[in-house]
Chains A and B, each alone.
Chain A
Amino acid sequence: MQRLLALKNFYAFAKALSPWLLLTWVALLAYGVIGGLVWAPADYQQGEAFRIIYVHVPSAFLSLGIYTAMAMMAAIHLIWRVKLATIWIAASVPIGASFTFLALLTGALWGKPMWGTWWVWDARLTSELVLLFLYLGYIALHRAMPRPDMAERAGSLLILIGVVNVPIVHFSVTWWYTLHQGPTLSRFAKPAMAPEMLMPLLAMIAAFGVFYVWLALLCARNACLARESTSTWVQEEVINNA
């Protein structure tokens, strides 16, 4: 554990993992896209428009998943002062913000023809928008701080405070009356979705997740090189790849 936390070893580990993640991502994405857009039948009510679910649900899932991962890293950073935790947070924020934006955008595009409106201020939509502001707030706070260690500590604190929003987003459709529908995928019930529609959706969620890990590892590797740019292992690595 202690050894993996050294940036040098983490870099090597991430580098070795990278092609396998890429391969898994391509395979999952290929099945998800073809299965969702071609093989899956149209929905009995929404017709072809339901297919936006193959982007919307994975994006929304990751917007919460990435934030939860960041909150754990923030706690690890604040308590144990692990350098790698802040590197992982910094790598995750832009990806999480992008997926949150994508979830809001695809939801609005679907909402106009299905609900009859782009946007309503119901609990699910509003709390998801708050989630986007938490991501953007981290970026703003991080840039406003004069010293990197202060920026990281303030940022981690913001993430920890904001984590209470995660269960609110998730349970908003059960706790309150919302325009947004209830959960289709639930751990405790049979999914309310036909299997030939569900399998590509699960593949897409997995594909988005693998993509996040792959991209965050890439960003984190870059940060490792930047942080230890004066050390010999970085210089060797750069020369060998030049």
Chain B
Amino acid sequence: MHKFLNPARKKRLYIVLFIIAGVSIALAIMMTALRQHINFFYSPSQVAAGEVSAGQRFRIGGLVVDESVMRVEDSLQVRFALTDGAQEVWVTYAGILPDLFREGQGIVAQGALDEAGVFQADEVLAKHDENYMPPEVAQALAEAGHPTQLSTPDAT
């Protein structure tokens, strides 16, 4: 009876393993089916491939293209391009941008495409990356030709 794995314990061990395996498999199937719905945003490539239709509300995420940000005088209207390295989508937005918004920065915007294929955003969120460094290091990296904002929301 004091054996480490007597028949009763062995049976319970199998039940425990069965429960974990069963729940994992069920959840894996569900998550595969719901994959696109769990994603928080679409990438510019997905938009270019026509995965969303005009007028449908969705979120788009990417890096703000360098030197693409244009502001309209005396208003909060701003226009910029988003990229994932392969495709670009133009975004317009009227409102206050988050502090981290800048060219080269990852952002996520919510809104819909108009007929011209321009994304009309009503909310813009900054997506911070996983890099942490002091300002001097960032400056040194930039001078050496290694921009600090390399990783797209999902580079793959």
Contacts and interface: CB of A to CB of B under 8 A. Distances in A.
A176 B32 CA distance: 11
A120 B130 contact: no
Contacts of A157: 19
Interface stretch (B9-17, B71-79, B112-120): B9-17
Contacts of B43: 177
B94 interface: no
A192 B131 contact: yes
Contact of A45 (B31, B40, B128): B128
B135 A160 contact: no
Interface residues of A, number: 40
B125 interface: yes
A174 to B, nearest CB: 9
B148 to A, nearest CB: 7
Given A78-B16, A182-B130, A44 B124 contact: no
Interface in B135-151: 135-139, 148, 151
A161 B100 CA distance: 39
For the residues of A in contact with B, the DSSP-based class is loop
Nearest to B132: A193
A213 B49 CA distance: 52
A46 B38 contact: no
Contacts of B153: 177
B98 A43 contact: no
Interface stretch (A12-20, A62-70, A92-100, A110-118): A110-118
Given A44-B134, A164-B27, A122 B40 contact: yes
Contacts of B38: 123, 176
Interface centre among A75, A177, A181 (most CB of B within 10 A): A177
Contact of B130 (A113, A177, A192): A192
A79 B9 contact: yes
A161 B19 contact: yes
> Interface centre among A120, A121, A163, by most B CB within 10 Å?
A120
A177 to B, nearest CB: 4
A193 B128 CA distance: 14
A79 B133 contact: no
Contacts of B131: 184, 192-193
A180 B40 CA distance: 10
B126 interface: yes
A196 interface: yes
B133 A44 contact: yes
Contacts of A177: 39-43, 61, 153-154
Contact of A79 (B13, B40, B98, B151): B13
A80 interface: yes
Contacts of A113: 98-99
Interface in B20-44: 20, 23-24, 27, 31, 35, 38-43
Contact of B137 (A46, A115, A120, A194): A194
Given A113-B99, A182-B151, A42 B132 contact: no
Interface in B31-83: 31, 35, 38-43, 61
Interface string A76-91: 0011100000000000
A179 B134 contact: no
Contacts of B97: 116
26 contacts: A41-B135, A44-B135, A44-B137, A46-B100, A79-B13, A114-B126, A115-B126, A115-B127, A116-B123, A116-B126, A120-B125, A121-B40, A157-B19, A160-B20, A164-B23, A164-B27, A168-B27, A177-B39, A179-B125, A181-B127, A182-B151, A184-B130, A184-B132, A194-B132, A197-B132, A197-B134
Given A115-B126, A177-B42, A181-B130, 4 more contacts: A117-B123, A160-B19, A179-B40, A179-B127
